Chain A
Amino acid sequence: MRFIFKTNYAQDINIARHGGDKFWYSLLIILMLAMPLIIDDFYLGEISYVCILAIAGIGLMILSGYTGLASLGHAAFLGIGAYTHAFLLTNGVPFFASIPIVVIVSFMVGALIGIPILRLTGMYLAIATLALCFIAEHVFIKWEHFTGGNRGMPVPQPEIMGMSFYDSTTFYYVCLAFLILSMFAAINILRSPTGRAFVAIRDSEIAAQSLGVNLGLYKALSFAISGAFTGLAGALLAHYIGYLAPDIFNIFLSLTLLLLIVVGGMGSLHGTVFGAIFVGSLPQLIAICRDYLPSSVGSQPGLEPMLFGLILVLFILYEPLGIYGRWVKIKLFFQLFPTYKKQTFKKQKVFTKSDRV
Chain B
Amino acid sequence: MQLIQLIIDGVASGCIYGLVALGFVLIYKATETINFAQGDILMLGAFVAFSLIGVLGMDYIMGFALTVVIIAVFGFFLDSVVVRQIIGQPPFATVMLTIGIGFILRGFASIYWGTDIFSFSTPFSGKITEFNGLIISYVNLSIIIGTVILVSVLYLFFTFSRIGVAMRASSENQLAAYYMGIPVKFIFSLIWSISAATAAIAGVLLAPITLVDTSISLIGLKAFAAAVLGGFGSIPGAIVGGIIIGIVEQLCGTYENYLFEGVREISAYLVLILTLIIYPRGLFSDKAEVKKV
A, B assembled together: yes
Residues of A whose CB lies within 8 Å of any CB of B are 64, 68, 70, 72, 116-124, 126-128, 130-132, 134-135, 138, 141-142, 215-216, 219, 255, 258, 262, 266, 297, 300-313, 316-317, 320, 347, 349-357
Contacts of B262 in A (CB 8 A): 138, 141-142
When chains A and B are docked, how far (Å) is the Cα of A123 from the Cα of B91?
Answer: 7
CA–CA, A215 and B293, complex, Å: 7
C-alpha gap A304/B108 in the complex (Å): 10
Within 8 Å of chain A (Cβ to Cβ): is B117? no
Are the CB atoms of B103 and A255 closer together than 8 Å? yes
- Provide the bound-state CA to CA distance between A119 and B172, in Å: 25
Contacts of B293 in A (CB 8 A): 118-119, 215-216, 219
Known: A64-B92, A118-B293. A354 touches B103 (CB 8 A): no
**Chain B 73-92 residues near chain A, CB threshold 8 A:** 82, 85-92
For window 205-262 of B, CB contacts with A under 8 Å fall at 214, 221, 224-225, 228, 232, 260-262
B interface secondary structure, majority: helix
Interface size on B, residues (CB 8 A): 59
A302 B272 Cβ-Cβ under 8 A: no
- Bound form: Cα–Cα A262–B109 in Å: 25
Instruction: Tell me whether A354 and B224 are in contact (CB under 8 A).
Output: no
What are 23 pairs between A and B in contact, CB < 8 Å?
A68-B90, A70-B95, A72-B95, A117-B276, A123-B95, A128-B276, A131-B272, A255-B103, A258-B96, A302-B107, A303-B107, A304-B107, A305-B106, A306-B108, A308-B107, A312-B103, A313-B82, A316-B86, A316-B93, A316-B96, A317-B85, A317-B86, A350-B89
Contact A350 B276 (CB under 8 A): no
Binds A, one of B3-11, B135-143, B192-200, B263-271: B263-271
Given contacts A350-B89, A352-B174, 20 further A-B contacts (CB under 8 A): A70-B92, A70-B95, A119-B277, A120-B280, A123-B91, A128-B276, A134-B266, A138-B265, A302-B106, A302-B107, A308-B100, A309-B100, A310-B100, A310-B104, A311-B100, A312-B97, A316-B100, A317-B82, A353-B32, A354-B176
B273 contacts partner chain A, Cβ-Cβ < 8 Å: yes
* Interface pick from B41-49, B126-134, B144-152, B284-292: B284-292
